[in-house]
Amino acid sequence: MLEQRRLLFHTADAVLANSSMEPFGLVGLETMAVGGVAFVGSTGEDYATAGHDAVCIETADPMEIVHEVMHLQDTKAETRHIRERARRSARRYSWPAVLKGRLLPLLRRSGATRRAPLPQPGPLPELRPLPEPRPLPEPRPLPEPRPLHTPETAVVSDGPRPIALVLPAVPARTVA
């Protein structure tokens, strides 16, 4: 499963990971680590530098995403450089780099690096047998698939691979 996700993140034109609530989204960092193009939100992803190693989305307007995707498709060399720089940037946030560069200095300053004796394990509790599993309920039928192009979906195509974007429902306006 992990290898499939890495492959998807690497081969996708872009990975949309623009949470408006998560200040350090790992999906964007995982995307960058495999050389993918991460679209991250403006919530303070410390690992992303707009236009250098990621695309930073500043608004909730879906057209900003469309504009950025079209720009990436028009500038293949720039996109390739973003992918290369993303991989290098993500290395700063590998576990060994974080432990060595951030956590250990904090522990040293606090004096917490002295070794304390490890607690001795006590006796294990007696294990009870597991109850018999209950039968699973009958599965519900799947809903009918929706067509690709609906009023909520915009299909953008500038080449052989169309891009489907699901847009939020917008109430119709009446122009007088």
91-146 pLDDT tens trace: 998 888 888 888 888 888 887 666 667 777 788 778 888 888 888 888 888 777 66
User: In this predicted structure, what is the pLDDT of residue 161?
Assistant: 57
Q: Give the Cα separation of 153 and 161 in Å (integer).
A: 16
Does pLDDT of 167 surpass 80? no
Q: Is 138 helix (H, G, I), strand (E, B) or coil?
A: coil
Two structure tokens written together for 110: 């606090």
Cβ proximity of 30 and 54 under 8 Å: no
5 secondary structure, DSSP code: H
Q: What is this structure's pTM?
A: 0.59
Mean pLDDT for 11-28 is: 81
Cβ proximity of 56 and 50 under 8 Å: yes
CATH superfamily ID and name for 2-111+154-166: Glycogen Phosphorylase B; (3.40.50.2000)
127 or 78: which leads in pLDDT: 78
pLDDT one-digit tens code per residue, 22-44? 767 788 999 999 999 999 986 76
Does pLDDT of 175 surpass 70? no
Query: What is the sign of the dihedral through the CA atoms of 141, 147, 151 and 153?
Result: positive
Specify the pairing of strand 55-56 against strand 38-40. parallel
- To the nearest 10 degrees (0 to 180), the angle between helices 76-91 and 62-74 is 110
